[in-house]
Amino acid sequence: MQHLPLAAVLAAALVVSACTKDTSSLLDPSAPAGGTPAGGTSTGGSSGGTSGGGSSTSTIQPVDTTVFTPSDTGSAANAGSSTSLLFFTSGVAQYGNGTCGANGTWTDSLGHVSSAHDSHCVAYWSDNRVGNNGKGQCVVSSKGYPGLWLNPQAHPTSAYHTNCLELGTTTSTLTLTFAAQATVYTANDGSWQKVLDFDAGGTRVAQLVYHGVAGDYTTGAGVLTGTDGSAATWTIDFSQTALNYTTGLTNGDLIDVLTSSGTQAIACQAAVGCSLITLKLSVAP
């Protein structure tokens, strides 16, 4: 299969897995379930090569303020170097939703065509090679999806894992500015649940939900938008595997990880391509 290298940017720190879960118990009872069924298609990202790699049907949920109290506020940032990614230029797109064409152009299952460099066509290894972190193994999932990372204990995590991304040759430093305000909400009912909301102009644009004692995993939805030094727009789709649990080993409390070491995630820019970055969160009470 032919691959197309991307030109630019961003670096890394993430973990992910997956399984259908219900977030309505964590958020507003009137909200629909925020589950993220494996193999679904993203409603949180945009086409045109700007989404960050979504693969779920999760949606942003309203926060029940009788259960969740704001505990921290701040903003997102990226840290360290970034690495360009390669694309599939033929064959099926992520989770079998449509196909990939020249320059990583995605045609979804309904026939809608994106611009070049769409995250749904980012390429993953599945040839039993060691993961990008020097550990584990990259294989094909039981459903035929590429990029399933087996950890060093040979336990399957999830398909489309960042440790199995086909990396390009461009490594650079990129500074992104994210205008959205970040707010962390902590549950007051002893459930250990947390919600991270990103708000832009009074609208929630991206969200992570840590499910606490109900399950040691984090689900994500929405799209966080940032700009680089040339004012070009980059987007990170929070339904991508790096930020959204769908199956396999659980991904733990990603909200806590973001405020410490940061987590690897895919960010995309329509004209330039997609890169692996390290997304971090700076907050204070």
- The reported pTM is 0.79
The pLDDT assigned to 246 comes to 86
At 173, is the pLDDT very low, low, confident or very high (cuts 50, 70, 90)?
A: confident
The pLDDT assigned to 79 comes to 81
Residue 146 has pLDDT above 70, yes or no: yes
CA separation for the pair 265, 279 (Å, rounded): 7
Residue 180 has pLDDT above 70, yes or no: yes
Q: Using alpha carbons, select from 15, 56, 264, 279 the residue that is nearest to residue 151.
A: 15
CA separation for the pair 12, 60 (Å, rounded): 24
- For residue 278, what are the β-bridge partners? 79, 264
At 14, is the pLDDT very low, low, confident or very high (cuts 50, 70, 90)?
A: very low
The pLDDT assigned to 71 comes to 94
79, 262 contact by CB (below 8 A) = yes
249, 156 contact by CB (below 8 A) = yes
Q: What is the mean pLDDT of residues 207-230?
A: 95
Q: What percent of the chain has pLDDT over 90?
A: 67
- Say which residues have a Cβ less than 8 Å from residue 110's Cβ, sequence separation at least 6: 98
Taking only the tens place, the pLDDT of each residue in 53-85 is: 334 447 999 999 999 999 999 999 998 889 999
CA separation for the pair 183, 194 (Å, rounded): 10
CA separation for the pair 238, 246 (Å, rounded): 12
Q: Which residues of 4-36 are buried (b: 16+ CB within 10 A; e: fewer)?
A: bebebbbbbbbbbbbbbbebeebbeeebebbbb
Q: Give the other-Cβ count within 10 Å of 192's Cβ.
A: 14
Residue 270 has pLDDT above 70, yes or no: yes
Taking only the tens place, the pLDDT of each residue in 97-130 is: 999 999 999 999 999 998 888 888 999 999 999 9
126, 147 contact by CB (below 8 A) = yes
Residue 10, helix vs strand vs coil: coil
Taking only the tens place, the pLDDT of each residue in 36-51 is: 322 223 333 333 333 3
CA separation for the pair 17, 263 (Å, rounded): 14
CA torsion through residues 42, 78, 139, 136, sign:
negative
- In angstroms, how far is CA 179 from the centroid of its own chain? 19
Cα separation values, 211 from 128, 196, 284, Å: 32, 12, 22
At 142, is the pLDDT very low, low, confident or very high (cuts 50, 70, 90)?
A: very high
Q: Give the other-Cβ count within 10 Å of 173's Cβ.
A: 12
Q: Give the other-Cβ count within 10 Å of 186's Cβ.
A: 18
